[in-house]
Amino acid sequence: MIRLLGCVLVAGGGAWLGIQASARLRDRVTAVSALIHALGLLRREICGRGRGLPRALEETACQAAPSVRTFFERCVRACRALDEQPFQESWRQLVHELLELSPETLAQLEQLGEVLGRYEEDIQGRALDQAKECLSEELTRAKGEWERMGRVYRLLGLAGGGFLVILLL
Amino acid sequence: MLPLALRGPALRLSEGDKAVCEELRLRMGQPLAAVLPGGERLVEGTEVTLPLLEQMVELACQASLHTVLDSLRQGYLTLRGGHRMGVCGTVELRQGEIHGFRTLASASIRIARAVSGQGNWSGAELLRPDGRLYSTLILAPPGVGKTTLLRELIRRAADGEGMAPQRVGLADERGEVAALWQGRPQLPVGRRCDVVEGCSKAQGLMLLLRAMNPEILAADEITAPGDGRALLTAAGCGVTLLSTAHGQDREDLMRRPLYRPLVTQGLFQRLVTIQRRGETRNYQVEVLS
């Protein structure tokens, strides 16, 4: 009985690991998609409503999906500490902690920090559009990876668990 | 107002110096300087750099340059508390107009303080029998206190202090009278005062007239023919006018083509001239019509 229970646990553990790995890929897709949407909101606030950056970030944080909300809330806090650190430096640090992104997307987002709040509205709008474009490519890659590797991870987890059971038996 | 790197040393100025400090001056590569009544005093242990100047501008505009570009193109920004930051450096011209700054070279922060120069002057000569203000023009040379008196009259009228309470519309082109910061006046202009800033006085006066139904329209420093025309239109609508002009006295006013029609066409009923003697100011009221 104990043996059987052990087998089930090992097999279940393996499957769980595979599912977790697959879920991480799915979460990344969700987060990148949420970030694209949030940058769209930020663009609307800055270019459409002419709002200052702190207010625009606040609005974005309120309306953004939970996966990226914290990032924008931390950006708002960075705006309240401009005497300590310029916004672009805070943005750079926060972007690095945001998501696992490709170096190109990361570089594009870093550049966005150099433009936000420092140029005319249309220039900020263009920088936001470029960042969104770059993130869209990242999203396509992330979706592809999830579809391709998600199933592989799940199967690997299950198979790995089964293999361990056989080995231990 | 200052980045941390400069704030610490600036706060080490003596309490006496801080109480009378008029301006802070920041020039690239130089130490921070405090402008005191006796002259400039350098703040040791500081060096102004380009990143610090840029950080100051960012701080002043709350990382929202796009919201203050028009003001920055004029060379200044209004800060919280009514203080004013002036900047200069290498400008970028587009079609002959200043579009922005390529590089900053220096900045100044003018520290706003309440000036109690009116003493006990009640301004009773400016009141109609029903306690409302006559249309009044304040005349004085630069730096004597025209804007301060204008602000005080606006505040008294808007708060109903010593006169009947009235709705005041203020066209504050350069943000020197009310100094709006995020929509809130940083200098006292009273409870019933509506402020328009960031546009020409003429545009502001017309906007106020259309939108806010003011009983008094106020604008600082009539400098363009358009301002005079806008005041003329407003006077035609039965609104009381409050404004200021550079000049010594009535004769000086009548010699200048921009101001002469304001007097001859009966726009203003009272003229206040200010004379400064040391720290005290004398106010003389003349009846114009």
Q: What is the mean pLDDT of each run of 10 residues along chain B (289 residues)?
A: 90 90 94 91 92 93 92 88 90 90 93 66 88 94 87 94 95 89 89 92 93 95 87 89 91 88 89 82 87
Residues 6+ apart with CB under 8 A from A85: A78
| Token pair for A43 | 């663009």
Cβ separation B64–A119 shorter than 8 A = no
Q: Which of A72, A79, A82, A120 to mutate to test the interface with B (most CBs of B within 10 A)?
A: A82
Cβ separation B64–A87 shorter than 8 A = no
Helix (H, G, I), strand (E, B) or coil at B246: strand
Cα–Cα nearest to A112, from A125, A96, A97, A98 = A125
pLDDT of res. B278:
67
pLDDT of res. B160:
93
- Closest-CA distance, A117 to chain B, in angstroms, reads 4
Assigned domain for A91 exists: yes
Assigned domain for A72 exists: yes
Residue A128: count of CB within 10 angstroms of its CB: 21
Q: What's the length of chain B?
A: 289
Residue B143: count of CB within 10 angstroms of its CB: 8
Instruction: Read off the pLDDT of each residue in A140-144 and give the average, rounded to a whole number.
Output: 93
Domain containing A120 equals 26-143
Assigned domain for A161 exists: no
Task: Encode B55-94 in three state secondary structure.
Answer: HHHHHHCCCCHHHCHHHHHCCEEECCCCCEEEEEEEEEEE
When CB atoms are compared, the residue of B3, B62, B67 closest to A79 is: B62
Assigned domain for A88 exists: yes
pLDDT of res. B119:
55
Strand order in the sheet with B39-42: B39-42, B33-36, B23-27, B97-110, B84-94, B76-78
Give the chain B residue nearest A87 (alpha carbons). Answer: B63
d(CA B163, CA B181): 28
Give the chain B residue nearest A50 (alpha carbons). Answer: B67
pLDDT of res. B176:
86
B50 and A CB contact within 8 Å: no
Cβ separation A83–B51 shorter than 8 A = no
- Closest-CA distance, B128 to chain A, in angstroms, reads 44
| Token pair for A34 | 């949420």
Cα–Cα nearest to A160, from A17, A38, A34 = A17
pLDDT of res. B120:
66
pLDDT of res. B237:
87
pLDDT of res. B259:
87
Q: Which chain B residues are within 8 Å of A53, Cβ to Cβ?
A: 62-64
Assigned domain for A130 exists: yes
d(CA B150, CA B135): 12
Tell me which DSSP letter residue B133 carries. Answer: B
Assigned domain for A53 exists: yes
Domains of chain B: residue spans and CATH = 4-110 (3.30.450.90), 123-287 (3.40.50.300)
| Token pair for A99 | 């998501």
CB A106 within 8 A of CB A96: yes
Cβ separation B67–A52 shorter than 8 A = yes
Radius of gyration of chain A (CA): 21
A52 and B CB contact within 8 Å: yes
| Token pair for B4 | 């941390």
Residue A107: count of CB within 10 angstroms of its CB: 13
In this predicted structure, the answer to whether residue A152 has a pLDDT above a threshold of 70 is yes
CB A106 within 8 A of CB A114: no
Residue type (1 letter), A90: S
Radius of gyration of chain B (CA): 20
A116 and B CB contact within 8 Å: yes
pLDDT cut 90: percent of chain A above it? 63
- Closest-CA distance, A54 to chain B, in angstroms, reads 7
Q: Which chain A residues are within 8 Å of B183, Cβ to Cβ?
A: none
Using DSSP, how many helices (H) and how many strands (E) does chain A show?
Answer: 6, 0
Q: Tell which wins on pLDDT, A128 or B251.
A: A128
Assigned domain for A55 exists: yes
pLDDT of res. B54:
93
When CB atoms are compared, the residue of B4, B62, B66 closest to A84 is: B4
Number of domains within chain A: 1
Q: Which chain A residues are within 8 Å of B9, Cβ to Cβ?
A: none
Per DSSP, the residues of chain A read: -HHHHHHHHHHHHHHHHHHHHHHHHHHHHHHHHHHHHHHHHHHIIIIIT---HHHHHHHHHHHS-HHHHHHHHHHHHHHTTTTTS-HHHHHHHHHHHH----HHHHHHHHHHHHHTTTS-HHHHHHHHHHHHHHHHHHHHHHHHHHHHHHHHHHHHHHHHHHHHHHHH-
d(CA A58, CA A77): 9
pLDDT of res. B282:
85
d(CA B221, CA A144): 65
Burial class (CB in 10 A: 0-12, 13-18, 19+), B82: buried
Cβ separation B69–A117 shorter than 8 A = no
Q: What residues pair up with B272 in beta bridges, in sequence order?
A: B138, B285
Assigned domain for A102 exists: yes
Q: Which of B6, B62, B64, B103 to mutate to test the interface with A (most CBs of A within 10 A)?
A: B64
